[in-house]
Structures are given as structure tokens and as C-alpha cells.
Chains A and B, each alone.
Chain A
Amino acid sequence: MRGRNQHLILLAVLSVFTLVGITQPALAKTKINICALQDISTQVALKILKESDFEERTGITVQSNLLEFAPMVQAHKMDFMSGAANYDLVAVDQPSLGLYVTSGWVMPLAEFMTDKSLPSLDDADLIQALLSMAGVWEDKLYAVPMGSYGGLFAFRKDVFAKHGITPPKTFAEFYEYAKKVNDPPKLYGTALFAHKGEYLAADMAPLLWSWGAGYINGSDVDLPGVKKYHVAWDTPEGIAALKYYARFYKEGLTPVDTLNYDHVRFTEAFQVGKVAMALMIGEAVGEPMENPDKSKVAGKMDYTPFPGKKRADGTVTPPMPMIGAHSLAINKDSRNKKEAFMVLQFLTSKAIGKEYILRGGKPFRQSHFFPEAFEKFPSLKAYAGNIPTGKCRPNIPEYPAVSEIFTTAFHRALAQKDADIEKIMKVAAQKANNDILKPSYPDAYK
């Protein structure tokens, strides 16, 4: 009997708590949820926002869900499909912009930019090369870069000094130097950012462009000999670039597990002092290399813009690193669009730019390059030198699917010992053309 009474009391208490929970009036503050990439730029900008008086001043509470790339895309798609609008702001990777816009998942920002009651985006200060591919679709602004990524040529000063070499100006020199310093398993000539998926596509892109090829004609490149909206990696130039890349792995100039190198592993390979030089991903530059608690190569790294490809006439192509950004966009189903814009504006604003850069954020505004920043992060100079001639991957809606076909085939070609790269990649090109691009652009296939 006593036990039964206890149960009844417990039930009553629970019911009261439940009712209190239900009848609790909604908080006056507006909550803005962000689903973005877990990268240093987003983290720094969010930290600055939280430390500022933004939330107090505006009555907007900002909550973030920072994820790795694939889970982030998955979370976005589930949210868009359901129409639940759990996320007001989403980070759109540069090659996915077309997909997000044409699928009607994100909205144009024009209405907020003309609203005088809202703060300005200072869009003239944004780096135009980034903005045009990572934010603008058919002349309308949909997203604002939040951080950026772009490769640099990274090398170990001590290794180069020991071998009496200077940073390579051409890809041919890069290969020769990697071969020269290669001393496995102690030190490898280079490392590839060759994990299956978009990693490999990002690593390969600068080589395709430098050789005079690309991913999709009419999107990232305009090749006169290739029809529009056909893949562009299966041209003789493209195949030559793919073979050049594969040589590093096939000839043992890279760590044996480089085909599994994502951001973390690529960075770790440098940190443990195993790699002499590489076309370095932006995320690994700076603090990850220079922090002696994490890195054995602190103080030994230096950076220059990418090498170029020597043309037949002896001239060298300008550096063509891959540049891009995860841009912030507003979910078209968001219930608090105006507030979402205010958060977007703050996170990408010129006003927090100095602090953002000095705390390790990656630049996406012209004003992000200033003397104090160059002094703190010497690699920024090389980065600034890269941007004018840098290129972005395609951003048409079909690119993610085309890229998946490309990277799966190329990853297989790299892993197989005696793979016929040309054959594998031509088959992949045919599959991408027929299955993905032709149904979307039938006129280009007539």
C-alpha cells in the first residue's frame, strides 16, 4: 500500500512538472539555429559573436550545430526535405551552391540588402573571386562566404636547405624535388589529400586546371575543343594531369596510406615530420603546423604560391590553386529570416574582421589582409598571392554527383597497382556524361 502511494505521489509530481513545462511561456528571444561546417573560421566567428553584445542587443540567441562535411550535408537535406526549418542558417560549400539554389532550399539576399533597417553586408569588400562562385547564382546573391579555403605550396625549410633546393616554380620541378628528398619511411617527398570523396576532387582540381583541363566544361573551365556540359577530365591534357598526380603515389613518393588522408590525417603526416612538401590544404596552414604541442615541424615550415605548368613555349602558367568557401545562406523555410540575416551579417562582417583574422579565421574579405595579420601569419602573404589566379570547382547542381563518379573511379585507379588510368577515367567520364549531365542539359548533347 505504501509503495502504491509513493507511485501516486511520483506520478502527481511528474504531472505537475510536465504541465509547468507545457504552460511555460515562450521566451521572448528569437532563436537562430546554424548548421555549418566544423572549421576554424566558423568557430572563431561564432566565438566572437558569443563574446560580443550581439545577443543582448538584438534579442537573438544563436545556436550552432557544427558538423563534418558529409553529416552536415545530410542534416541540411533532411531539414529541407521535411520543411521543418530546424536550421535558419546553413553553410553551403562552394560547389553545392547551384544545387541549394536551384532546389529552392535557400533564398536570395536582395530583400535584406535593400532594407535600410538592417546592417550592410559591405559586399564590395568581399573577395569577388570567392563571392562570384560561392555566393552568386544567376546574378543574384544567395550566400556570403564564411571563411575560405585555398591551397598553398608548403615545404620544410630544413629539408630544402639540406638538399640545396628552392621552392619549385613548375610541377616538373615539384616532382623532381619530391623524388630527390624522398627517404621512406622516415621522410616522404610529398603527401596527397587523396581520401575518397571531395577531398580527392579538391586535390586534383589545380592540376587539371594547370594542364588545361577541368571537371565540367562550361562551369569550371571553358575549353574550346569540348562541348558544353560535358566532363573535361578525359581530354589528353586531363589524362596527363591525372597520370602526373598518380605517379607520386605509384612511385612511393607519398606515405603508403595517403589514399586515406582527409584533413586530419594529411595534417598529422606533416605534424609528425614525415612529409617534405606538398600542395597544402588551407586548414593545415598556420596554427596546426606552428603549435609545438601538436607539431614536430614548428618553425620549420614555409609557404609559397602553387607551382605552374610549363607550356610548350617555355612560359609557365600562373598558380591555379583551388579556392572556395563555405558560405552562409538563409533557409527559405526559416521562420525568422530577418533575424537570420542579422546573424549572417554579424558573422561575416567587416567590423569583426581584424579580430577574426588574428584569432585564426581564414580570409574572405580584402580588408582581411593587413600588416599585423601578415606578421602573425606569414602564410597569408602566399595566400594573398594565390587568390587572384585561383579557381573554384564547378557549382552547377550536378557537380556533387559528377564529382562522386570522378573520385570513386580515380581512387580505384590510384589503389590498383597496374591500373589503366586513361581507360578507367574515360569510362567514368562517359558515365558522368550519360547518367548525370545529359538528362539535365539535353541540348548540349544533340
Chain B
Amino acid sequence: MLIEKKQTLWLMSPTVLTLLLITIFPLMYALNVSLSDYSLAAGKQVHQFNDFQNFSKVLTDPEFWHSLWVTFKFAGLCLIFELTIGLGLAVVFSERGFRLEPLSMLMILPMAIAPVIVGLVFRWFYSNDVGIIGFLLRSIGISPPAWSSSGVAALFSLVIADIWEWTPYVFLICMAGLKSIEPEIYEAAEIDGARGWIKFKRITLPLMKPTIILVLLLRAIPALKEFDKVFIITDGGPGIATEVTSSYIFKQFLWFNNLGTATAAALILLAVITVVCQILFAYLRKHEEQIQGTGKW
């Protein structure tokens, strides 16, 4: 028994060491930097404890709170649209019995493209001079909007790019979720006279709850730490209208040379994302407990 235990520990040690090296060490280092006066500018590369000044600076900076608000707006809009479109399409595909295979490559394509490239492609799309959107709108006699001069338009330009990139992913997960629902449940409901919307509301939606929470969890994390597309398409503009927290962090590091402040902001963002994930996990656990307790969904 003891030998078996030792063997297990021995076999697990590379994984644990790797985890320590790639997760715990950088996190501890980041914590150390966030608590230090670590400025890159003007030769002031001092590294000493500064009484949580970086955290206090970030938490009292209205621009940080603004960026957090923009981050939640962006993530919220993306999740709503992606889930609605992804789930809607999955239901249609599933009900009509469409085959996925011919579309599978197309579905995977947006996810396979690097976010920076997605940003560049959409940046070109939105160009009023040579972009496809401007061209199409002009061809039907509509003046293309000034994506860059209104905060709302700029935010939606980012959301549209994210929808294009991630809706297929949501769709594929929802398709898998729908396949796990027993067809007999639908047959029984149909015998009872349930059709269309009622079937969706009373059967599909409740049974898809764990899948939906999973989608929210998997999509919320990248959406809350989105950077690439924002940097390329709007650079946080106009002004700071679309500045997400990752852009704020980038700005603190790149232009203000405040590595300590940037790291503190990054750790706060990490805490926020962790809280959001914990809420979703708790919801998922509660749901599982309900099933285990009652034996039904």
C-alpha cells in the first residue's frame, strides 16, 4: 500500500512540478511585482514593498472602473448574442436533422484563426474606404457609419467581430448538449400535444441548462480578458470608450511604464474573473445537487 502511494506521488511529481513552474511561480512573482514600486521609466527600476500603493492607485482610478464596466458590457453583449444565435442555430439544425459534416470546416475556421488576425480582418471590413461593409452599404445607397467616432458603434464593432469568431464554438457545444437529450422525452411531449416554442421552453431549455452554464463559463473567461481585437480594431477609442481592462493594463505597462500598477490591475482582473467563474460553478453544482437529490432535472 505504502509502495503504491509512493509510486503515485513519484508519478505525479512531474505534473505537480510543471504546474508549480508555469502557474504558481508566475503568480507569486506577479504578486511580488504588484506590491512593489516597479517602474521602468527614467532608470527607476526599484523593487521594494510599497504598502499596497499599486492596488490603491488602481482601485481609486476612475479609468480602471470605467474599463471594468466596458469589459462587462463587452462580455455581456458577446455572451447574450453568441448564446442566442448559437443555441438557436443548434436547435434548428437538430430539429431539421441537418448534417453537420459539410459545415464542420467552416465552423472551425473562425476559431482556428488567431485573434489578432480576426482583429485585422474586421479592421479592414470596417474601413469606409476599402472595407467590404462600407462597399455593401454604399452600393445600396447607405452611408457607412463612423465606427470610430461613437462609443456605441465602436463597442458593437468589437462585439460583431467576437460573435463571428465564437458563435460556431457555442453552436458546436450546444449541438453536443442537444444530442444528449433523449428523443423519447420529445416524443412523449409531442404525444401530450407540445409543439415548437412550448417544447423548447419546457424541455430543451431546462435540459440544456448545464450546457448553457458550461458555455457561459467557457466564453466568459476569454471575453472578460479580451485584448487583441480591442487593440487592433479600436485601440480602446474613441477616447477610452472601448477601453477594456486588458487595454488598461497594457497602457499602464507600455505607455506609463508602471509595471507594478499594471500587475496589480491584472491581479484584480484575475480576481474578478475568478469570482464570475465561482458563481457559475456554484450554479452548476447546485443544479447537479438538485438532480442527485430529486433524481430529475
Would you call A121 an interface residue if the criterion is a C-beta within 8 Å of the partner chain's C-beta atoms? no
Which residues does chain A contribute within 8 Å of B130, judged by CB atoms? 268, 272
The reply to whether A440 and B42 form a contact with Cβ atoms under 8 Å apart is yes
Which residues does chain B contribute within 8 Å of A197, judged by CB atoms? 235
A185 to chain B, nearest CB (A): 6
Choose among B138, B149, B234, B235 the residue that contacts A256 (Cβ–Cβ < 8 A). Answer: B149
Which residues does chain B contribute within 8 Å of A89, judged by CB atoms? none
Q: Which residue of B lies closest to A200 (CB)?
A: B237
Would you call B84 an interface residue if the criterion is a C-beta within 8 Å of the partner chain's C-beta atoms? no
B210 to chain A, nearest CB (A): 39
The reply to whether A404 and B129 form a contact with Cβ atoms under 8 Å apart is no
The reply to whether B127 and A268 form a contact with Cβ atoms under 8 Å apart is yes
The reply to whether B147 and A415 form a contact with Cβ atoms under 8 Å apart is no
The reply to whether A412 and B42 form a contact with Cβ atoms under 8 Å apart is no
Residues 90-108 (chain A) with a chain B CB within 8 angstroms: 99, 102-104
B273 to chain A, nearest CB (A): 23
Given A196-B235, A401-B41, A415-B150: A99 in contact with B257 (beta carbons within 8 A):
yes
Given A99-B41, A102-B43: A265 in contact with B129 (beta carbons within 8 A):
yes
Residues 134-154 (chain B) with a chain A CB within 8 angstroms: 138, 143-151
Contact with B along A31-64 (1 / 0, CB 8 A): 0000000000000000000000000000000000
The reply to whether B129 and A269 form a contact with Cβ atoms under 8 Å apart is yes
Chain A interface main SS type: helix
Which residues does chain B contribute within 8 Å of A274, judged by CB atoms? 129
Would you call B239 an interface residue if the criterion is a C-beta within 8 Å of the partner chain's C-beta atoms? yes
- Stretch in B102-110, B170-178, B183-191, B248-256 with 4+ CB within 8 Å of A: B248-256
The reply to whether A74 and B146 form a contact with Cβ atoms under 8 Å apart is no
Given A259-B149, A414-B238: A103 in contact with B41 (beta carbons within 8 A):
yes
* A185 to B135 Cα, complex, angstroms: 13
Residues 251-265 (chain A) with a chain B CB within 8 angstroms: 255-257, 259-260, 265
Residues 202-241 (chain B) with a chain A CB within 8 angstroms: 231, 234-241
Choose among B126, B128, B234, B238 the residue that contacts A412 (Cβ–Cβ < 8 A). Answer: B238
The reply to whether A415 and B149 form a contact with Cβ atoms under 8 Å apart is yes
The reply to whether A404 and B255 form a contact with Cβ atoms under 8 Å apart is yes
Given A99-B41, A257-B146, A397-B42: A409 in contact with B239 (beta carbons within 8 A):
yes
Which residues does chain A contribute within 8 Å of B146, judged by CB atoms? 256-257, 259
The reply to whether A415 and B237 form a contact with Cβ atoms under 8 Å apart is yes
Would you call B40 an interface residue if the criterion is a C-beta within 8 Å of the partner chain's C-beta atoms? yes
The reply to whether B42 and A102 form a contact with Cβ atoms under 8 Å apart is yes
A-B contact count (CB 8 A): 109
The reply to whether B149 and A103 form a contact with Cβ atoms under 8 Å apart is no
Which residues does chain A contribute within 8 Å of B129, judged by CB atoms? 255, 257, 265, 268-269, 272, 274
* A173 to B255 Cα, complex, angstroms: 36
The reply to whether B127 and A257 form a contact with Cβ atoms under 8 Å apart is yes
Which residues does chain B contribute within 8 Å of A183, judged by CB atoms? none
Which residues does chain B contribute within 8 Å of A413, judged by CB atoms? 239
* A260 to B40 Cα, complex, angstroms: 30
* A269 to B151 Cα, complex, angstroms: 23
Residues 220-270 (chain A) with a chain B CB within 8 angstroms: 255-257, 259-260, 265, 268-269
* A397 to B43 Cα, complex, angstroms: 9
Would you call A77 an interface residue if the criterion is a C-beta within 8 Å of the partner chain's C-beta atoms? yes
Contact with B along A399-437 (1 / 0, CB 8 A): 011011000110111111000000000000000000010
Choose among B40, B148, B237, B238 the residue that contacts A77 (Cβ–Cβ < 8 A). Answer: B40
Would you call B50 an interface residue if the criterion is a C-beta within 8 Å of the partner chain's C-beta atoms? no
Would you call B45 an interface residue if the criterion is a C-beta within 8 Å of the partner chain's C-beta atoms? yes
Would you call A387 an interface residue if the criterion is a C-beta within 8 Å of the partner chain's C-beta atoms? no
Would you call A81 an interface residue if the criterion is a C-beta within 8 Å of the partner chain's C-beta atoms? yes
Q: Which residue of B lies closest to A104 (CB)?
A: B43
A428 to chain B, nearest CB (A): 10
Would you call A73 an interface residue if the criterion is a C-beta within 8 Å of the partner chain's C-beta atoms? yes
The reply to whether A415 and B254 form a contact with Cβ atoms under 8 Å apart is no
Q: Which residue of A lies closest to B150 (CB)?
A: A415
The reply to whether B237 and A411 form a contact with Cβ atoms under 8 Å apart is yes
Would you call A79 an interface residue if the criterion is a C-beta within 8 Å of the partner chain's C-beta atoms? no
Most chain B CB neighbours (cut-off 10 Å) among A103, A104, A269: A103
The reply to whether A103 and B40 form a contact with Cβ atoms under 8 Å apart is yes
The reply to whether A99 and B241 form a contact with Cβ atoms under 8 Å apart is no
The reply to whether B40 and A408 form a contact with Cβ atoms under 8 Å apart is no
Which residues does chain B contribute within 8 Å of A123, judged by CB atoms? none
* A396 to B203 Cα, complex, angstroms: 66
Q: Which residue of A lies closest to B146 (CB)?
A: A256
* A190 to B176 Cα, complex, angstroms: 54
Would you call A398 an interface residue if the criterion is a C-beta within 8 Å of the partner chain's C-beta atoms? yes
Would you call A368 an interface residue if the criterion is a C-beta within 8 Å of the partner chain's C-beta atoms? no
The reply to whether A259 and B128 form a contact with Cβ atoms under 8 Å apart is no
Which residues does chain A contribute within 8 Å of B231, judged by CB atoms? 70
Which residues does chain B contribute within 8 Å of A365, judged by CB atoms? none
Choose among B127, B149, B236, B256 the residue that contacts A265 (Cβ–Cβ < 8 A). Answer: B127
Which residues does chain A contribute within 8 Å of B239, judged by CB atoms? 196, 408-409, 411-413, 415-416
Would you call A393 an interface residue if the criterion is a C-beta within 8 Å of the partner chain's C-beta atoms? no
A187 to chain B, nearest CB (A): 13
The reply to whether A259 and B42 form a contact with Cβ atoms under 8 Å apart is no
* A411 to B236 Cα, complex, angstroms: 11
A92 to chain B, nearest CB (A): 15
Q: Which residue of B lies closest to A424 (CB)?
A: B239
Would you call A309 an interface residue if the criterion is a C-beta within 8 Å of the partner chain's C-beta atoms? no
* A121 to B99 Cα, complex, angstroms: 68
Would you call A391 an interface residue if the criterion is a C-beta within 8 Å of the partner chain's C-beta atoms? no
Which residues does chain B contribute within 8 Å of A256, judged by CB atoms? 128, 143-146, 149
Instruction: Please list 10 pairs of residues, one from A and one from B, whose beta carbons are closer than 8 Å in the complex, sorted by A's number.
Output: A77-B254, A185-B138, A259-B238, A260-B126, A400-B257, A401-B255, A403-B255, A412-B241, A416-B239, A440-B42
- Extra contacts, 17 of them, besides A103-B45, A409-B239 (Cβ < 8 A), are A70-B231, A80-B40, A81-B259, A99-B42, A99-B257, A103-B43, A185-B138, A185-B143, A257-B128, A260-B126, A268-B129, A268-B130, A269-B129, A397-B41, A408-B236, A411-B238, A414-B149
The 6 closest A-B pairs by CB, nearest first: A412-B239, A415-B238, A260-B148, A256-B146, A196-B237, A404-B255
